[in-house]
Structure formats: C-alpha cells, structure tokens
C-alpha cells in the first residue's frame, strides 16, 4: 500500500489479489466487523464503501474498487476537517484508477 500524508489529509491506495467478492464473504463470516457496508459503482466498476468502526468520525473514508474477479484497489482517504472531502478524494482517486484500467495503463 502507498500512503501520502500532509497532516490533516492523508491518502492510501493499494492493490489486493482478490475481487470484491472477498469483502462480501468477509461480511457474511464476520458481520460485526462492518458497521457500514454500502455497495456503489465508480464509472461502471463495482465498488464498496465500508466502515469497521468509528472511521467516519475521524474523517476516514474507505472505498474498495473491483477491477476484476481477482483484483481490487483499496482506497482510504482521510480529511480530519470533513468526511465529505475525504469521500470526494477517494472517489476522485477511484475514477483515475478506472480510467487507467480502461486505457490498459497507457
């Protein structure tokens, strides 16, 4: 996972060798781990916003982006001044990842 931090704002992004299906399986096995579990899409790609505890109270927004059946991008944005800003940052990064995926990385 790559992380950037500027004090009040932070961003982490990584790739995981399993698809979103793994998160659905995790939720079924250990539902208490997920306080929020909200499926969504980013430019036509399946995604999932989740929260394991009180992340949103600290301005943390988690977003998993399904890239294939066996790969997902993990995106975590943090803005201590605004959860809405953290969400916008995570979604902007996810859109850039989708654009790169669609272009074949060119």
CATH of the domain at 24: 3.30.450
CA dihedral 81, 85, 90, 96 (to 10 degrees): -130
Token pair in block for residue 52: 């394991």
Burial class of residue 103, CB neighbours in 10 A (0-12, 13-18, 19+): exposed
Token pair in block for residue 69: 């059946």
Domain count across the chain: 1
Tell me what pLDDT residue 40 has. Answer: 96
Tell me what pLDDT residue 76 has. Answer: 96
Residue numbers of the domain that contains 81? 2-103
Query: pLDDT 10s digit of each residue in the chain, 106 long?
Result: 899 999 889 999 999 999 999 999 999 999 888 888 999 999 999 999 998 877 778 899 999 999 999 999 999 999 999 999 999 999 999 999 999 988 876 6
């Amino acid at each position: 996972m790559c992380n950037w931090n500027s004090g009040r704002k932070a961003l982490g992004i990584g790739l995981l060798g399993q698809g979103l299906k793994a998160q659905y399986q995790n939720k079924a096995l250990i539902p208490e781990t997920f306080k929020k579990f909200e499926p969504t899409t980013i430019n036509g790609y399946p995604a999932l916003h989740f929260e394991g505890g009180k992340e949103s109270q600290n301005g943390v927004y988690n977003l998993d982006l399904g890239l294939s059946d066996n790969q997902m991008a993990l995106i975590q944005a943090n803005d201590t001044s605004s959860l809405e800003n953290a969400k916008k940052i995570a979604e902007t990064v996810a859109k850039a990842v989708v654009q790169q995926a669609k272009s074949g990385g060119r």
